[in-house]
Amino acid sequence: MKVYIAFDDTDTVDSEAGTGKLARRFEALLPGGCRLWGVLRQQLLVDDRIPYTSHNSSACAVVVLREPSQAGELLERAIAHIEKESAPGSDPGLCLAPENGVSLSALMAFGVRCTKAVVSQKEALAATKGFHLSGHGGTNDGIIGAAAAVGLTASGWNGRFIEFGRLRNLPDRVPVETLERHGMQIVPMDRDGRAPGEGDWIDTNGWLRPRLLGHRAVIAVAPAGPGSWRTLWEKRKKG
């Protein structure tokens, strides 16, 4: 069984580590027999009326449990993690929901709303009825982004992977077979209908970040020469 567990607003402008890194580090604390399927960055509305550290993004870890009874222990460890690692002065929030939750549709709709409008803690609490949502310091505003991250991830059509199949350990140029072996699906954006084949290489430009599409980790690529392809999603340049 998969469980979505999201963190938000755990850092400040002076923090050494952001929320994404805090979510990735949670893997080391998973209960025995559990494994991390992936960690996704979810982008929420950027608006002057919303207090955020840098880009108003939150992070959701997707964990595969060995058995459903481990959900309680997972939650306890997540609470201890966010309370220990969140920066002083932040407004951390935590949300946890199983993939088979009966009210996930409402939470998905809430997540989409958070990408378009300013929402309140009251709305977040209503959307997560039946699931775990908790604040752990400051204004507790992080519960909004945490709830949104779970909803967007659970929909299967939103988010950028910041961890999946040890993507950070892969070289800049990777064989197609290696990416597929790590569970990533390569989707060609070629008008002539060509697709990467066995023996082809993918140039990631040093930044491999699949998107969550159809509940899969998807990499969009375009031709870059005989037997060579390049990823279409690149890291945003600062400034």
Q: What is the DSSP letter of 150?
A: H
List the chain domain ranges. Answer: 2-161, 172-231
106-141: pLDDT as tens digits: 999 999 999 999 999 999 999 999 999 999 999 999
Query: Which pLDDT value is given to residue 238?
Result: 55
In the predicted model, what is the mean pLDDT of residues 184-210? Answer: 91
| CA 14 to each of CA 18, 53, 163: distance values in angstroms, whole numbers, following the listed order | 10, 10, 24
CA gap 154, 4 in Å, rounded: 7
Question: Does residue 236 register a pLDDT over 90?
Answer: no
Most distant CA pair in the chain, distance:
55
pLDDT tens digits for range 68-84 = 999 999 999 999 999 99
Residues found in the chain: 239
pLDDT score at 237:
64
Helix boundaries (H) for 156-208:
176-181
2-161: CATH topology: Alpha-Beta Plaits (3.30.70)
Over residues 144-150, the mean pLDDT reads 97
- 193 vs 133 pLDDT, higher one: 133
With b for 16 or more beta-carbon neighbours within 10 A and e for fewer, the 99-125 pattern comes to: eebeebebbbebbebbeeeebebebbe
Using pLDDT thresholds of 50, 70 and 90, give the confidence band for residue 239. Answer: very low
Q: CA 39, 165, 161, 121: dihedral to nearest 10 degrees?
A: -10
pLDDT > 70: percent of the chain: 96
**Are 38 and 128 in contact, with CB atoms under 8 Å apart?**
no
